[in-house]
Amino acid sequence: MTRTRKAALASLILLPVLAGGFALQARSTRGGAQLLDQVLTFVALRYVDTLDAQQLYEKAARGLVKELNDPYTELFTPKQLEEFSRNTNGRYAGIGMEISKVGDYVTVNKVFANSPAEGGGVQEGDKIMIIDTTNARGFNTQQVQNKLLGPVGTPVTVTFGRIGVPQPVKMQFTRAEIKAPAVRYTMMIDERTGYVPLERFSEQATEDIATAVIALTKRGAKSIILDLRGNPGGILDEAFAMSNLFLPKGKELLSVRGRGEFQKFVSESDPLAPEIPLVVLVDGGSASASEIVAGALQDYDRALVLGTTSFGKGLVQSVYNLDGGYALKITTGKWYTPSGRSIQKERKLNAEGQFLEVMPDSMESDSVRKARPTYKSASGRTLYGGGAITPDVIVAPDTLSAAEQAFRRAIAPSFQKYFNSIAVIAENQKGKLKPDFAVNPAWRDELYQKLVADSVKIDRAIWDGGATDIDRAIEDRVAKVSFGDTLVRRRTLKDDNQLRAAMDLLKKAGVQKDVFSAAGAAPAVTKAGVARRSGN
Assess whether 247 and 351 both reside in one domain.
yes
Assess whether 113 and 237 both reside in one domain.
no
Assess whether 205 and 290 both reside in one domain.
yes
Q: Over pLDDT 70: what percentage of the chain?
A: 87
What pLDDT score was predicted for residue 514? Answer: 95
Strand ranges in 203-266 using DSSP code E only, listed in sequence order: 223-227, 252-258, 261-266
Whether 385 maps to a domain, the answer reads yes
What pLDDT score was predicted for residue 435? Answer: 94
| Banded pLDDT at 24 (limits 50, 70, 90) | very low
Mean pLDDT value of segment 453-480: 93
Going by the DSSP 8-state scheme, the letter that residue 234 receives in this structure is B
Domain endpoint, select from 179, 203, 234 = 179
What residue type is 328 in one-letter code? L
What pLDDT score was predicted for residue 79? Answer: 84
Per DSSP, the residues of 75-133 read EEPHHHHHHHHHHHHTEEEE--EEEEEETTEEEEEEE-TTSHHHHHT--TT-EEEEETT
pLDDT at 418 over 70: yes
Whether 457 maps to a domain, the answer reads yes
Strand order, beta sheet including 374-376: 382-384, 374-376, 533-534
Rounded to the nearest angstrom, the gap between the alpha carbon of residue 111 and the centroid of all alpha carbons in its chain is: 20
Overall number of domains in the chain: 3
Yes or no: say if 382 and 374 are a contact pair by the CB < 8 Å rule: yes
Q: Which helix (H) or strand (E) holds 236?
A: helix 236-244
Q: What is the set of active-site residues?
A: 288, 299, 313
The enclosing domain of 169 has a CATH number of: 2.30.42.10
| Banded pLDDT at 523 (limits 50, 70, 90) | low
Instruction: List, for residues 116-155, the tens digit of each pLDDT value.
Output: 998 898 988 889 999 999 999 999 888 998 899 888 899 9
Assess whether 288 and 351 both reside in one domain.
yes
Assess whether 206 and 335 both reside in one domain.
yes
Higher-pLDDT residue of 39 and 192 is 192
Mean pLDDT value of segment 401-417: 89
Mean pLDDT value of segment 453-457: 91
Domain endpoint, select from 179, 209, 227 = 179
What pLDDT score was predicted for residue 363? Answer: 59
| Banded pLDDT at 356 (limits 50, 70, 90) | low
Whether 7 maps to a domain, the answer reads no
Assess whether 392 and 525 both reside in one domain.
yes
Whether 424 maps to a domain, the answer reads yes
Whether 9 maps to a domain, the answer reads no
Assess whether 95 and 144 both reside in one domain.
yes
Whether 407 maps to a domain, the answer reads yes
Yes or no: say if 289 and 203 are a contact pair by the CB < 8 Å rule: no
pTM (two decimals): 0.76
Q: Which helix (H) or strand (E) holds 178?
A: strand 176-179
Domain endpoint, select from 179, 212, 228 = 179
Yes or no: say if 219 and 194 are a contact pair by the CB < 8 Å rule: yes
What pLDDT score was predicted for residue 1? Answer: 40
Q: Which of 23-27, 336-340, 505-509 is the least confident region?
A: 23-27
Parent domain of 258: 187-321+331-398+511-534
pLDDT at 530 over 80: no
Assess whether 335 and 374 both reside in one domain.
yes
What pLDDT score was predicted for residue 507? Answer: 92
Among residues 536, 254, 535, 530, the alpha carbon closest in space to that of 376 is found at: 530
pLDDT at 284 over 60: yes
The enclosing domain of 303 has a CATH number of: 3.90.226.10
The rounded distance, in Å, linking the Cα atoms of 56 and 411 is 42
Mean pLDDT value of segment 194-207: 93
pLDDT at 362 over 60: no
Mean pLDDT value of segment 391-417: 89
Assess whether 241 and 369 both reside in one domain.
yes
Higher-pLDDT residue of 333 and 189 is 189
Average pLDDT in the chain:
84
Q: 159: which strand partners?
A: 130, 170
| Banded pLDDT at 61 (limits 50, 70, 90) | confident
Whether 53 maps to a domain, the answer reads no
Assess whether 192 and 123 both reside in one domain.
no
Assess whether 257 and 382 both reside in one domain.
yes
Whether 248 maps to a domain, the answer reads yes
Going by the DSSP 8-state scheme, the letter that residue 2 receives in this structure is P
| Cβ neighbours of residue 160 closer than 8 Å, sequence gap 6 or more | 108, 122, 126, 127, 128, 129, 168, 169, 170, 171
| CA atoms 36, 38, 41, 44: torsion sign | negative
Assess whether 357 and 424 both reside in one domain.
no
